[in-house]
């Protein structure tokens, strides 16, 4: 090799300083550069990047984080946890989202970005639901990521209006909600609402089996009103016995003071007296 590089062994055109020799030198350099570029793009890159080889992205949704790494390695893919989120319906550390999506075509060794469900639920501010109607509460709590728990009725004239907010039996005052009270998402929130009756509500009495006269006295003493009386024949029971009542008796069922109770009583419909009945005619 050393002998070849000696001047006497080099081709004459390489030793020539003429313009022709310079042009030959430049052409050789340009040709060599083109060959290197072609080699890089059409030989080196396809070999190192597996050009033309693609893989279908599998569905990772719902898969636990421990399973993802081995699962993707077997398919010549990688992953990176790009974000975390929370959904009470999804188990902790499972994949919620992925990018690229399932069934996408990607190159070998492509990195899949995944979003996993965090182990602990994030904190969220509880909305101030005091004085709201119950029908408004459920969608409002769900929009904040909470669950509506037990509904507890309390005597109050505000029917179905939220009077109190509780968690695990402990009251959360309205003042704390106004300042911004936070709880983990997914927490069950119990609400106390008014029954619309207030403290003047009464437990409805059981009048069935009573004589009508006693039922009337009892209703009057409770501040309730006797409504319509329907008579029905029943040979096995004494006349005037109450057979049915409306509204019916139910344990712990309450009604407002002044409510009307209708009765069905054993007996016959009394005949209406006419104006002529009971009049005495004096014959002049």
140 & 189 share domain: yes
Range of 82-91, 199-208, 226-235 with top mean pLDDT: 226-235
**Are the CB atoms for 232 and 194 separated by under 8 Å?**
no
pLDDT recorded at residue 201: 74
Domain end residue (candidates: 199, 217, 237): 199
For residue 237, what is the domain's CATH number? 3.30.10.20
pLDDT tens profile 138-183: 999 999 989 999 999 887 778 889 999 999 999 999 999 999 999 9
Examine the domain organization and report whether 31 and 87 are in the same domain: no
| pLDDT at residue 112, as a whole number | 93
**Structural domains in the chain (count):** 4
Q: Which residue among 199, 218, 242 closes a domain?
A: 199
pLDDT value of position 181: 95
18-64 confidence digits (pLDDT tens)? 676 667 767 778 888 888 877 766 666 665 655 557 888 999 999 99
246-261: pLDDT as tens digits: 999 988 788 887 789 9
99 assigned to some structural domain: yes
Mean pLDDT value across residues 89-107:
91
> Is position 277 within any domain?
no
Q: What is the per-residue pLDDT for 38?
A: 76
Q: Return phi, psi of residue 157, to 5°.
A: -70, -15
Q: Which of 146, 168, 199 is the last residue of a domain?
A: 199
Report pLDDT for 115.
94
Residue 1 lies in a domain: no
**Which residue range(s) make up the domain with 251?**
201-266
194 and 161 together in one domain: yes
- What are the tens digits of pLDDT across the range 217-239? 999 888 889 999 999 999 889 99
Average pLDDT score over residue span 75-93: 88
Residue 4 clears pLDDT 70, i.e. is over it: no
Contacts of 20 by beta carbon, 8 Å cutoff, 6+ apart: 13
**Between residues 284 and 131, the one the model is more confident about:** 131
127 and 194 in a single domain? The answer is yes
- Locate 108 and state its tokens: 């070998």
The answer to whether the beta carbons of residues 211 and 240 sit under 8 Å apart is: yes
Q: Residue 65: which residues within 8 A CB-CB, separation 6 or more?
A: 81, 93, 94, 95, 116
Query: Residue 279: inside a domain, yes or no?
Result: no
């Amino acid at each position: 090799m050393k002998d070849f590089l000696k001047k006497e062994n080099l081709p004459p055109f390489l030793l020539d300083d003429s313009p022709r020799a310079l042009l030959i030198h430049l052409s050789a350099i340009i040709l060599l550069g083109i060959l290197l570029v072609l080699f890089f793009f059409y030989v080196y890159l396809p070999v190192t990047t597996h050009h033309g080889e693609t893989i279908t992205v599998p569905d990772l949704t719902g898969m636990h984080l421990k399973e993802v790494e081995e699962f993707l390695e077997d398919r010549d893919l990688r992953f990176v946890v790009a974000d975390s989120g929370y959904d009470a319906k999804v188990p902790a550390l499972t994949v919620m989202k992925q990018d690229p999506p399932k069934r996408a075509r990607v190159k070998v060794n492509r990195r899949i970005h995944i979003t996993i469900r965090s182990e602990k639920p994030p904190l969220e501010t509880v909305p101030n639901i005091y004085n709201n109607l119950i029908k408004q509460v459920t969608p409002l709590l769900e929009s904040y990521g909470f669950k509506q728990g037990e509904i507890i009725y309390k005597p109050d004239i505000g029917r179905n209006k939220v009077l109190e907010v509780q968690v695990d039996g402990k009251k959360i005052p309205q003042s704390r909600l106004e300042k911004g009270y936070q709880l983990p998402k997914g927490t069950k929130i119990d609400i106390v609402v008014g029954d619309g009756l207030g403290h003047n509500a009464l437990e409805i009495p059981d009048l069935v089996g009573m004589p009508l006269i006693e039922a009337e006295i009892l209703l009057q003493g409770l501040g309730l009103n006797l409504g319509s009386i329907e008579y029905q024949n029943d040979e096995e029971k004494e006349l005037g016995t109450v057979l049915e009542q409306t509204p019916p008796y139910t344990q712990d069922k309450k009604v407002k003071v002044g409510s009307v109770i209708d009765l069905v009583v054993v007996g016959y419909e009394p005949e209406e007296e006419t104006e002529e009945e009971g009049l005495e005619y004096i014959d002049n």
